[in-house]
Amino acid sequence: MFDALIRFLNAALMIALPLGLGVYLSRKLDGKWRLFGVGALTFVASQVFHIPFNAWILNPLLKKLDLQISDPVLQLAVVALLLGLSAGVFEEVSRYLVYRFWLVAKSDRTWRSALMFGAGHGGIEAIILGVLGLYAFVQLVAYRNADLSAIVTPEQLDLAKLQVETYWSLPWYAALLGAVERAAAICFHLSATVLVLQAFRRKNIFWLFLAIGWHTILDAVAVFGAQSWGTYVTEGLIVSLGLLGLVIVFLLREPAEIQDVLSPEDTEPAQIEIQPQKPSIETLEDSRYV
């Protein structure tokens, strides 16, 4: 019973974490759910182009490189970097294009708005994986004590048994690694979105390339580590990079926005009283990165 609960919890957390983050940002930083949705659509749109590119162009190229590179470590490193670069280009350029052509209002190009945008971008990926995880959980609960020979073909029987045994033999802490990795990935997406935002706030395209490089590093570590360092070391590195992403987020924060949003009844009288002497929030935003 406990092992089933843990596996259900892993998938449920993948769905709940990004939604919980969205609620937190909405309440504490006045984040708009519209931006969460824009972030989600941006991720999905990026995959519409990213997945076919990998399948039709990058993967055939990687097979040719496999034949030309004899050193297996170097071969894996090149594969990891190219896969990471592919993800970085498609996802970060998608973020940039959304900022360039969709999120053009000043209120959409702020630090707090970027957090909601990034939460949606990384959150929808976690939610999709969580839904798939729940589907797999339901199937494997049904298959756990079932007669697999009556369900799959004889050719697939041994593989099916191995998959069921592997799934249920994982220790409880290993079964939760999916949710831990998604939490770290969401932290990364927050930082990547804030980095791309700087291309507009500071009017310098360098920040887009920095976001692509940052994305490449994360994905390359995940690919290379899974084949070389084992699950726990790789997940530890991914979590460390996720925490570094949070550091990036707060290093690039805008001081006028980091404070909690006051209630409307507190803000309205103050705004009327001090408006002639104190610049507005929009003026502060414009003055910081001129």
Please report the pLDDT score of residue 269 as a whole number. Answer: 40
Q: Mean per-residue pLDDT for 159-174?
A: 92
Sign of CA dihedral 184, 18, 135, 138: positive
> What share of the chain has pLDDT > 70, as a percent?
88
Please report the pLDDT score of residue 152 as a whole number. Answer: 83
Q: Mean per-residue pLDDT for 144-164?
A: 86
Q: Mean per-residue pLDDT for 101-107?
A: 95
Q: In the structure, what pLDDT confidence band is assigned to residue 147 with cuts at 50, 70 and 90?
A: confident
Q: How far apart are CA 184 and CA 241, in angstroms?
A: 7
Alpha carbon separation from 114 to 145, 231, 290 (Å, rounded): 47, 31, 19
Please report the pLDDT score of residue 99 as a whole number. Answer: 98
Q: Mean per-residue pLDDT for 105-119?
A: 96
Give pLDDT tens digits for 38-49. 999 999 999 999
Cβ neighbors of 201 (< 8 A, separation 6 or more) are 109, 288, 289
- pTM of the predicted structure, to 2 decimals: 0.86
Give pLDDT tens digits for 246-289. 999 999 998 766 544 334 443 344 443 444 444 443 443 444 33
For the chain, what is the mean pLDDT?
Answer: 89
Q: Mean per-residue pLDDT for 135-151?
A: 89
Q: In the structure, what pLDDT confidence band is assigned to residue 109 with cuts at 50, 70 and 90?
A: very high
Q: In the structure, what pLDDT confidence band is assigned to residue 155 with cuts at 50, 70 and 90?
A: confident
Q: How far apart are CA 7 and CA 166, in angstroms?
A: 13
Domain layout of the chain by residue ranges: 2-265
Give pLDDT tens digits for 197-230. 999 999 999 999 999 999 999 999 999 999 999 9
Whether the pLDDT of residue 111 is over 70: the answer is yes
Give pLDDT tens digits for 260-271. 433 444 334 444
Q: How far apart are CA 115 and CA 109, in angstroms?
A: 10
Please report the pLDDT score of residue 43 as a whole number. Answer: 98
Please report the pLDDT score of residue 256 as a whole number. Answer: 66
Alpha carbon separation from 206 to 203, 213, 249 (Å, rounded): 9, 11, 17
Please report the pLDDT score of residue 257 as a whole number. Answer: 61
